[in-house]
Each structure stands twice: as structure tokens, then as C-alpha cells.
């Protein structure tokens, strides 16, 4: 009798976790859909930012970080990245877990939000201290555009991790490689777009790049490994 009740409890727990994941994925899709509906032409430019720089120049010149379009995609990035990290943290090589725990997700969501906004405020402080505030703001707006697109791509990775490749360490490694590669490519494109400004502030930019971009990535990879 105890074994039957125990197995039933595990089944209910698995259903709750799985259902919680489904709700979050649907929330991601709804957010992206609303953003697309708000400005379809802007969204079409946005999804091709790895191929051209038109969206980056337009988005920076209009300083539209707090617009509805950008705010929705920033929220999507925060949620999808938190789901992705929680899947990585929940993963066990034995494959005995669900690869997603709703409690881990909420904890991860809190820490990711605190990290992102603390990092942004610190970057603004650094820019103000070295008199390069306008450059840092523009640089972050452009970099954030790539992050928002990565947030949409990660929705697919999250869905495949749970529904199609549960417990697959190979798939997890592939997604990590793609996410980091997309981030670095985006960072490279932003640097190339601002090469004149960077050359005139080379020392401060190298200091910024090492302390606020490279070190967090290395720390993240080290924690996962």
C-alpha cells in the first residue's frame, strides 16, 4: 500500500512540474507574440540582427529601452534564461530527474534578475566614473538586442530539453555551445559597430570588457562544469 501511494505521489509531482514548465513556455510564447503584434515591422528587423545592423542603429538612436516592445522581450529573456539555467542546475547524469524543478526556477529567476540589473547599474556607474556613460548606455542597448533574440531561441532549446531530449547530456552540451557562441558573436558585432569609440577609450573598454563581460561568463561556465 505504501509503495502504491509513494508511486502515486511521484506521478503527481512529475505532472505538476511538467505542467508548470508548460505554463511557463506558453507564457514565453504569448509575450513574444504580443511584442510581434505591437510592431511587426520592427520585429522583422529584430530577428535578422545577426545578418545586418539596421535594427541596432535604429534601436540605439531612439533610446527605446523602456518601450513596450523592448520591455516585453526583456521579460521573455529573463524568464527563458531562468528556465534554461534551472534545467542545467536540475540536470543529473543518471537521468533520474525531470530536468526541471519549479522551485529551482523561481530561485533562479530571482538571482538572474538581481544579477542582470545589478550588473547594469554597475556598468552605468563605471561609465559615469570614467566619463563614458553615453557610450556604455549605447553599447548595452545594442548588446541587449542580441540577448533578447537569444532569449527567443532559448525557448526552443528549453522545449526540446524537456519534451524531446529529456536527460540528454549531449543535447545540453550542444545548447550551451550555441548559447555562448551566439552571445560572443553578438558581442563581436557590437564591438565592430563601435570600433571608433572603443579605440578612443581603449583602456576603459578593456577594463569594462574583462570585469563585466568575460569574468561573468567564465564564472558561469565554471559553475556548470
Nearest of 44, 22, 174 to residue 102 by alpha carbon = 22
Dist. CA 31–CA 207, nearest whole Å = 36
Dist. CA 71–CA 199, nearest whole Å = 31
More confident residue, 63 or 157: 157
| pLDDT of 157 strictly over 90 | yes
More confident residue, 118 or 27: 27
Q: What is the pLDDT of residue 18?
A: 60
Residue 212's Cα: distance from chain center in Å?
16
Cell of 89: 542546475
The count of residues in the chain is 225
Q: What is the pLDDT of residue 12?
A: 41
State the CB neighbour count (10 A cutoff) for residue 2: 6
| pLDDT of 206 strictly over 60 | yes
pLDDT band of residue 179 (cuts 50, 70, 90) is very high
Dist. CA 35–CA 152, nearest whole Å = 11
- Spell out a b/e string for 127-159, using b for 16 or more CB atoms within 10 Å of the CB, else e: beebebeebbbbbbbbbbbbbbbbbbebbebbb
Dist. CA 134–CA 126, nearest whole Å = 11
| pLDDT of 3 strictly over 50 | no
More confident residue, 18 or 103: 103
Q: What is the pLDDT of residue 139?
A: 81
* Residue tagged 543518471 (cell numbers): 94
Q: What is the pLDDT of residue 149?
A: 94
Considering 121-125, 177-181, 210-214, the range whose residues carry the highest mean pLDDT is 177-181
pLDDT in tens, 69-108: 888 999 999 999 999 998 888 775 544 455 577 888 898 8
pTM of the model: 0.81
Amino acid at each position: 500500500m505504501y509503495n502504491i501511494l509513494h508511486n502515486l505521489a511521484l506521478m503527481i509531482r512529475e505532472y505538476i512540474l511538467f505542467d508548470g514548465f508548460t505554463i511557463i513556455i506558453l507564457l514565453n510564447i504569448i509575450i513574444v507574440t504580443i511584442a510581434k503584434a505591437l510592431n511587426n515591422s520592427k520585429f522583422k528587423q529584430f530577428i535578422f540582427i545577426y545578418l545586418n545592423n539596421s535594427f541596432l542603429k535604429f534601436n540605439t538612436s531612439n533610446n527605446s529601452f523602456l518601450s513596450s516592445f523592448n520591455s516585453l522581450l526583456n521579460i521573455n529573456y529573463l524568464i527563458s534564461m531562468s528556465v534554461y539555467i534551472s534545467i542545467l542546475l536540475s540536470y543529473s547524469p543518471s537521468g533520474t530527474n525531470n530536468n526541471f524543478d519549479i522551485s529551482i526556477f523561481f530561485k533562479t529567476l530571482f538571482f538572474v534578475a538581481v544579477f542582470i540589473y545589478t550588473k547594469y547599474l554597475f556598468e552605468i556607474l563605471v561609465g559615469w566614473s570614467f566619463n563614458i556613460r553615453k557610450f556604455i548606455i549605447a553599447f548595452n542597448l545594442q548588446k541587449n538586442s542580441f540577448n533578447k533574440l537569444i532569449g527567443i531561441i532559448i525557448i526552443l532549446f528549453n522545449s526540446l530539453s524537456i519534451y524531446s531530449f529529456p536527460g540528454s547530456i549531449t543535447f545540453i552540451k550542444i545548447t550551451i555551445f550555441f548559447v555562448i557562441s551566439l552571445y560572443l558573436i553578438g558581442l563581436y558585432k557590437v564591438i565592430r559597430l563601435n570600433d571608433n569609440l572603443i579605440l578612443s577609450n581603449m583602456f576603459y573598454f578593456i577594463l569594462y570588457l574583462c570585469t563585466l563581460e568575460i569574468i561573468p561568463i567564465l564564472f558561469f561556465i565554471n559553475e556548470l562544469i
